[in-house]
Chain A
Amino acid sequence: MCLLAVAAVPMARGDEGFQGIDVRVAAVAFLALVAAVARGWAPLIPLAVALVGAGYAAELAVDDAALDLAAPAVAVGLFLAAELAYWSLDERIRTAGDPGQSLRRTAFVALGATAIFVVSSVLLVLADEIRARGLALDLIGAVAAVGVLVAIFATARDQPSKGA
């Protein structure tokens, strides 16, 4: 539902030709997500999210409008779509949990989504403020990209340690 909601954003704003393409992309993304959840194919989840994100990016590029105020909602929608799909995959391994475990997790995800929305909105305001200075925006993007790469290196390493 989150994925379809995000897919509806560019659909609602684009012209007829764009809408046709976006519907097809959204359908493929939705099918990929359903297949990922039903069959347990985790690599299809980022593919589905990326397809919908690509539709949104294409609409932004074509439209070439001022700053899109729906960006925080899109960010939350895409994140929730990915997170809930991965959660479904986690639940494929049946385990008896403590009472209220699912509720706690739901609350955690909802809180995370709220925080993402707030932070994204703040970022959007900041971006709006400094947009006039094109170089500053590029600098922020480059720093963010480097930050992501560092995070990937830090987390992707499998470090055996003592215990159990």
Chain B
Amino acid sequence: MTRTGNPRLNGYALLAALALIGALALRRPELAIVAAPFAAALALGARAHDPGLTVSTELDADRTLEGADVPITVTVRAERAVDRAEIQLVPPEGVELVDGEPARSLRLDAGEERVLELTLRCTTWGVYELGEVGVRARDPWRLVTWEARVPPAHRLKAYPRPMTLRSLLAPTRTQAFAGSQVARVKGDGVEYADIRDFVPGDRVRAINWRASARRGSLVVNERHPERNRDVVIFVDSLTDVRGAGHSLLENAVRAAASLATRYLETRDRVGLVGFGGVLRWLQPSMGSTQRYRLVETMLETGVEPTYTWRDVNLIPARILPPAALIVALTPLVDPRFVAALEDLRGRRFDVAVVELDPVPLVPPGRTKVERAAHRLWLLDREVRRARLESRGIAIATWGDGELDTVLEEVRTFRRHAHPGRV
């Protein structure tokens, strides 16, 4: 701990010195008597010892959901008696204290241990270093202060809170593995597809007896098999637009986590590409392990500015399997991301875009020039959107509403405007 003097120390020293000098100069013992209390306090303060405070923190969990409460325990122990020990837990940005006092002052006897129970809440997803505590101890005369700052000792991962999604975007083609998605092709399955004439080798149980009776020849039912899907979530981390207490990148990651969770629940394979200054990817896979892998990768997502040109050639081929549905989450601000989407569409990938609307966060400006620039920017956005739509990419804007509604818009577009189905 670092020992420092309280403002009292200088003040009392000055007053004692002035009074003593005055006593000597004026030859008045009364002034020496006036100096006595200040001098005595200084002498007592000089005898103060380091109280030997030990502070430790204990966190109940190392993973949580954003918005969920996390209890933290701060334990304080003093080797010597301390008149006033001030303990302040310093939560990082994005974490707030919801229960308990942020700063507590305690009186501790020698060897006494006190436990402070506090509750924290992560206001947004991310990785947080927790447990930083500021400690200050004072002697009874408050002349000397011992200060220390205990560094963070815990790492807490706050996962994005999943949104409620009633239905998902279905890719145009399914994969070979069994899953929950009814394939467009015909084969062994549950969903009825069609009837056709019986050919040798068809199973007897596939014969549609009613239809056969009407036609006078054997016909069999054809069915759609249930297959899984490959979905790659494509997050634009080239830029972020912040304002009014929230960030579009944070929303994008929140949406990506929700989509990934829902797709994985239906036995689909989900991959991730974080397209930004640092390119992050995760190969499509299925299962709950993949869910944690995806979320952990997303937690590292942040805006790393780059001026180099980025395109999809940088992404390994195995990350983007054929016939995969690519769900892009972007504010459509960076032209490099728009070019990457066009490139993917050019490679016959099934692309859908959820545009995170940055317009409400960007004020039009006060001057005429600023307003004109704002209008030009809006027009430029319209052009980008039109370019994507003209290539058959479904796009819907996500503002304040539910993500479910936005996905429904995308579905509607894809129902009517998709260039081809297999």
Chain A residues in contact with chain B, CB under 8 A?
Answer: 42-43, 45-46, 49-50, 53-54, 56-57, 60-61, 67-68, 71-72, 74-76, 78-79, 82-83, 86-87, 89-90, 93-98, 101, 104, 108, 116, 119-120, 123-124, 127, 131, 134, 137-138, 140-142, 144-145, 147-149, 151-152, 154-156, 158-164
For A159, list chain B residues within 8 Å (CB): 3
CB contact between B24 and one of A93, A108, A142, A156 (< 8 Å): that residue: A142
Q: Min CB distance, B207 to chain A, in Å?
A: 80
- The interface size of chain B toward A, counting residues with CB under 8 Å, comes to 67
Question: How far, in angstroms, from A79 to B2 measured CA to CA in the complex?
Answer: 28
B29-63 with Cβ < 8 A to chain A: 29-43, 45-46, 50, 52-55
Stretch at the interface among B4-12, B194-202, B316-324, B395-403: B4-12
Nearest A residue to B12, CB-CB: A82
Known: A79-B37, A96-B105, A134-B27. 6 other contacts (CB 8 A): A71-B33, A72-B33, A97-B106, A119-B36, A144-B32, A158-B5
For B28, list chain A residues within 8 Å (CB): 57, 60-61
Q: Do the beta carbons of B32 and A127 come within 8 Å of each other?
A: yes
* CB under 8 Å from chain A, chain B span 12-33: 12-24, 26-33
Report B383 CB to chain A, min CB distance, Å.
54
| Chain A positions within 8 Å of B43 at CB level | 147, 151
Q: Contact partner of A46 among B11, B55, B106, B146, CB < 8 A?
A: B11
Q: In whole angstroms, what is the CA distance A76 to B38 when docked?
A: 10
Q: Are A164 and B135 in contact (CB under 8 A)?
A: yes
Which of B136-144, B156-164, B345-353 lies at the interface with chain A? B136-144
With A144-B32, A155-B45 as given contacts, are A93 and B7 in contact (CB-CB < 8 Å)?
A: no
**B50 close to A163 (CB less than 8 A):** yes
Structural contact, A93 and B103, CB atoms closer than 8 A: yes
Contact status of A97 and B11, CB under 8 A, knowing A116-B36, A148-B42: no
Closest beta carbon of chain B to A78's beta carbon, Å: 6
Docked CA distance A152–B38 (Å)? 11
